[in-house]
Amino acid sequence: MSETKSSRRWWALAVIAAAQFVVIMDTSIVGVALPKMQAELGFSPGNLSWVFNAYVVAFGGLLLLGGRLSDLLGARRVFAAGWGVLLVGSLVAGLATGVGSELAGRAVQGVGAALIAPSALTLLMMLFGANPRELNKAIALYGAAAPAGGTAGVFLGGVITEYLSWPWVFYLNVPIALAALLATPALMPRAAARSGSVDVVGALTVTGGLAAGVYAIVRAPQVGWASAPTLLVGALAVVLLGVFVAVQAKRREPLMRLGIFATPNLAAANIAQFLLGAAWVPMWFFLNLYLQQVLGLSAFPSGSALVPMTTLTMVGMIVVAPRVIAKVGPKKTLVGGMAVLAAGLFGLSLIRPTGSFWVDVLPGSLVAAAGMSLAFIPSLGIALSSARPEEGGLASGIVNTSYEIGSALGLAAMTAVAAANGADLLDDVVALTEGYSAAVVGAAVIAAVGAVLAAVSLRTPRAPAEPERQIVSTTR
């Protein structure tokens, strides 16, 4: 292979890693900006979580469709289209003047991310799959971009919100997307389109069902759990998800082959990923609000306060978790990690109205970060290694979807818990703290349940020979 061609492949990897970085950054960068967005755009405490959920529901619900389109239309074409959609969504979100336009922009961003993420991984395999040694290095760099994006999002969100204004957390995507669109034709390999059908009904029903379920949970504390709106929207969610399952069972080329869940450990590992998202994201969301609305930190110090936690998560995933897995095996690492995460969350639930970062936030957040980094990698590795080699792409799409949907539903449920315990009283720091604390207790219970389920449901698998080869998926 010529030196020029080899160099071009590594430049292509830089663009692919940037894609992973931006997709994850866009989930975390809004956290520090939430209080200012709430004040300027008129979000209520109940619907503020939709700034996050609109992105995640669209992203998670359409990931399988994005992978299917990448296979049919060619990864390079779908990768470029994803950047174009993300650019449009970022402009809409940044220019928003009200709740509706902001949430629409975030949903469009999620659609773009759902096109970018699976096609990026396909392009990486096309570029480096023929050389196992280079593939290991490429996947390690790609994997590191995920926690790096989460860390950068927290810090950049604070800097931008403090010294510019909150719309710039979205405008930041515009030059990155333009650069990626210019680089893609020159650097990315072509892939011929192939024949096949697209399960549009499946994509629409799973995304609509998840959105309806999240909406019902978020709105229930305001309108009542037994009210007609809650019951009707909840029933709609059940019907749409039921239609999705029925369609998948009958189609010759479904988005998700249901039989894959009969594979030993695959369902259990995906449940673990679902519960990790459901525990981690509510903690991250309410910790942002506690730092600003209770402790009174401005945007930049608030973003900086979360950097130790996100940095430890990144280092733990890349350096520590693979070594622990190699020593004690993935099942014990996963169970222990979820137990440590639960302990860290219980510690964070002790936050006080008159607390401080050093006592109320830092110790618990570091324990939670250690637990997350230990639990995330083995649950992902078990899910990927459990599938047949020819279904590795499907397994990767399912596990990504499990985490994202767990994030959305967990945040919706904990938003309801927080509101029921006083988090809707914005002028009362005692009530706010009690609401946020209750939400974090709920997240801790989810993590503890995850540890127990993993302990009883997972068969003891072989430890991967090279755990660093496992693909690091989405986390904040």
Rounded CA separation 76/185 (Å): 8
Per-residue pLDDT band at 279 (split at 50, 70, 90): very high
Q: Would the pLDDT of 218 be above 90?
A: no
pTM: 0.80
Residue 353 in tokens: 């109205």
Highest mean pLDDT range out of 51-65, 144-158, 354-368? Answer: 354-368
Rounded CA separation 102/36 (Å): 13
pLDDT at 350: 96
Residue range 185-203, pLDDT digits in tens: 988 888 766 766 778 888 8
Query: Which listed CATH number (2.30.38.10, 3.60.15.10, 1.20.1250.20, 1.20.58.340) goes with 1-197?
Result: 1.20.1250.20
The answer to whether the 1-197 and 257-476 domains have the same CATH topology is: yes
Is pLDDT larger for residue 19 or for residue 298?
19
Rounded CA separation 235/240 (Å): 9
Distances (CA, A) of 257 to 110, 122, 247, 251, 260: 24, 19, 10, 9, 6
Q: Would the pLDDT of 389 be above 60?
A: no
Residue range 220-237, pLDDT digits in tens: 777 788 888 889 999 999
Per-residue pLDDT band at 464 (split at 50, 70, 90): very low
Query: Domains of the chain: which residue ranges?
Result: 1-197, 200-250, 257-476
Helices (H), 164-227: 168-171, 173-187, 200-223
- Total residues found in the chain within this entry: 476
**Cα 468 to chain centroid, rounded:** 20
Per-residue pLDDT band at 471 (split at 50, 70, 90): very low
Which candidate, 253, 287, 211, places its Cα nearest to that of 439? 287
pLDDT at 111: 93
pLDDT at 396: 66
Which candidate, 105, 103, 78, places its Cα nearest to that of 89? 105
Q: Would the pLDDT of 55 be above 60?
A: yes
Counting Cα atoms < 13 Å in the Cβ hemisphere of 95 gives: 7
Task: Report yes or no: 311 and 150 within 8 Å, Cβ to Cβ.
Answer: no
pLDDT at 104: 95
Rounded CA separation 346/344 (Å): 5
| Averaged pLDDT for residues 73-99 | 93
| Averaged pLDDT for residues 365-387 | 86
Q: Would the pLDDT of 292 be above 90?
A: no
pLDDT at 87: 97
Residue range 260-270, pLDDT digits in tens: 777 778 889 99
| Averaged pLDDT for residues 29-49 | 84
| Averaged pLDDT for residues 298-317 | 84
Task: Report yes or no: 11 and 187 within 8 Å, Cβ to Cβ.
Answer: yes
pLDDT at 8: 83
Query: Of all residues in the chain, what percent carry a pLDDT higher than 90?
Result: 37
Rounded CA separation 450/273 (Å): 9
pLDDT at 210: 81
Residues 6+ apart with CB under 8 A from 132: none
**Domain 257-476: which CATH class?**
mainly alpha
Computed on alpha carbons and rounded to an integer, the radius of gyration of the chain in Å comes to 21
pLDDT at 472: 45
Residue range 110-168, pLDDT digits in tens: 999 999 988 887 788 788 877 767 776 777 677 677 777 877 887 888 889 888 889 99
